[in-house]
Amino acid sequence: MRIRGKLRAFLFSLLAFAIACQPGIERPLRASGYLEAQTIDVIAVEGGRVLQVWVEEGEAVQAGQPLMELDPAFLEAQIRMAEAQVAQARAALEALEAGPRDEDVREAMALVDQAQALRDGTYQAWQDALVMWREPQELQIQRAVAAAQARAAQARLEQAVAMKEIAEILKNRAEAAIRDWEQLPPNLRPPLPGEVRDAPYAYWAAWAEVNRAGAAYDGSRALRDYLDAVVQDPLTLRIQVVEAEGRYRAAEAALEAARARLVALRAGATREQREAARARLRQAEAALEALKARRGRYTLQAPQDGIVALRAVEPGELVAPGTRVMQLMDLRILMLTVYIPETALGRVRPGMNVPVMVEGFPDERFEGLVTHIAEEASFTPRQVQTQEERVHLTFAARIRLENPEGRLKPGMPADVEVP
């Protein structure tokens, strides 16, 4: 019996040794993660004030469904301005093709006459300034004349003021006489003398004369002061000569331009001018069409089917171009990210189908498709030198799940089993 017991113990030991010497059997790889939905940002290409928002968070929307509307008032103003520019460019082209009108020629001739008169006036002013600068005695004469004119204007002003004061006294007496006359019964009122009736008008006429005399005195005094300053500082006169010559040269150039315009108007538009006008019209029309094409951007639509996950704006708010105003979730396709150890990386490849277990559906297995495996490891130690440390290397794997009925929801925990 003792021998049989020893034999049984030896056989058990041999079996355990044989099992221990067999190569390890790989167990299925199990990795966990959370379901994620693809998100689509709805971006406001144009800026403006929010007029309406037609959807709420959590609401299902379809592709092309209007989501919100921005105020297009500024764009409409730009469109009206562009339409006016198109009309202006078209009218300019039609005018060139029709040739000059008689009234345009007459207007151009009038502008030439006006420019010539201005040129002659500035030339005379330049010559007068030259004479005063080159002949000091002429300057002294003009200074004396200006001083005499200032004194005479001052005397007229003083006389006008005195006449105004007399007229004011007469007006006040006339108004008192009229008040006494109005107190009498109508049948006892004598006729008013003419000087009484005319006293208010004489007063206002005297005031007008004071204003005229004051303006004349101010002008003569300014001329006198200017000539006094020139006598005291001749450099001022030299500056005046230079400025007068500059005004003359500018007037002469304006006269030449007016004459050239008249000649060109009589000759009619050239072929190059008509082509340039056509090009300007095409450019204005293209700008108008570009503005009209932006109208549709003020009504934001859903780019595809989904659920409104985020509503970032409310009516009345201002939105800048490029702002995310909404975010949609596409529940038809969910993604699951799991991390595969480096030692098991050879068991997973893109394109393979893997079973996915979701915590909310314990009796079901969903089919997932491995779409991508990261090229670089995650959670990698700085120094990986030993085989034991390499076990801690993981690679992110993306798995796609079809969810046509929307049973699975983002955020659900899920497990993947790789054989």
DSSP secondary structure, 35-63, as one string:
EEEEEEEEEESS-EEEEEE---TT-EE-T
Tokens of 94: 């039609």
Q: Is the pLDDT of residue 339 over 80?
A: yes
Q: Which CA distances in Å does 299 have to 53, 55, 78, 324?
A: 10, 13, 18, 14
Higher pLDDT, 287 or 233: 287
Which residue, among 361, 400, 317, 333, has the nearest Cα to 37 in the 3D structure? 333
Look up residue 114 and give its two tokens. 């006006």
- Measured over the CA atoms of residue 138, residue 140, residue 143 and residue 144, the dihedral's sign is negative
Structure confidence at residue 230 as a pLDDT band (50, 70, 90):
low
Tokens of 287: 């700008």
Residue 303 contacts by C-beta under 8 Å, 6 or more apart in sequence? 40, 42, 63, 328
- The model's confidence at residue 395, banded by pLDDT at 50, 70 and 90, is confident
Q: How far apart are CA 44 and CA 167, in angstroms?
A: 76
Distance CA 154, CA 58 (A): 89
Dump pLDDT digits (tens) for 145-199. 778 888 888 888 888 888 888 888 888 888 888 887 778 887 777 887 777 777 7
| Among the ranges given (31-35, 39-43, 213-217, 293-297), the one the predictor scored with the smallest mean pLDDT | 213-217
What gap in Å lies between CA 70 and CA 296, rounded to an integer? 10
Per-residue pLDDT, averaged over 273-288, amounts to 90
pLDDT at residue number 385: 46
pLDDT of residue 392: 67
Given a cut of 60, is residue 383 above it in pLDDT? no
The whole-number average pLDDT for the span 388-410 is: 78
Residue listed under structure tokens 């009218």? 91
239: tokens are 């500056």
Number of DSSP helices (H) and strands (E) in the chain, helices first:
8, 12
Q: Where does the pLDDT of residue 210 fall: very low under 50, low under 70, confident under 90, or very high at 90 and above? A: confident
Q: Tell me, what amino acid is at 20?
A: A
CA dihedral sign, ordered 99, 105, 107, 113? positive
Contact yes or no for 328/307 (Cβ under 8 A): yes
- Which residues make Cβ contacts (< 8 Å) with residue 411, sequence separation at least 6? 34, 35
Q: From CA 104, how far away is CA 269, in angstroms rounded? A: 13
CA angle at 128 for the pair 220 and 114, rounded to the nearest 5°: 90
Amino acid at 327: Q
**Least confident range of 106-115, 280-289, 308-317:** 106-115
pLDDT above 70: residue 381: no
Tokens of 193: 């003398």
Assess whether pLDDT exceeds 90 at residue 289: yes
pLDDT tier for residue 10 given thresholds of 50, 70 and 90: very low
Contact at 8 Å (CB) between 116 and 255? yes
User: What would the mean pLDDT of 202-208 be, rounded to a whole number?
Assistant: 82
pLDDT classification of 8: cutoffs 50, 70, 90: very low
Q: Nearest to residue 82, comparing CAs of 297, 299, 283?
A: 283
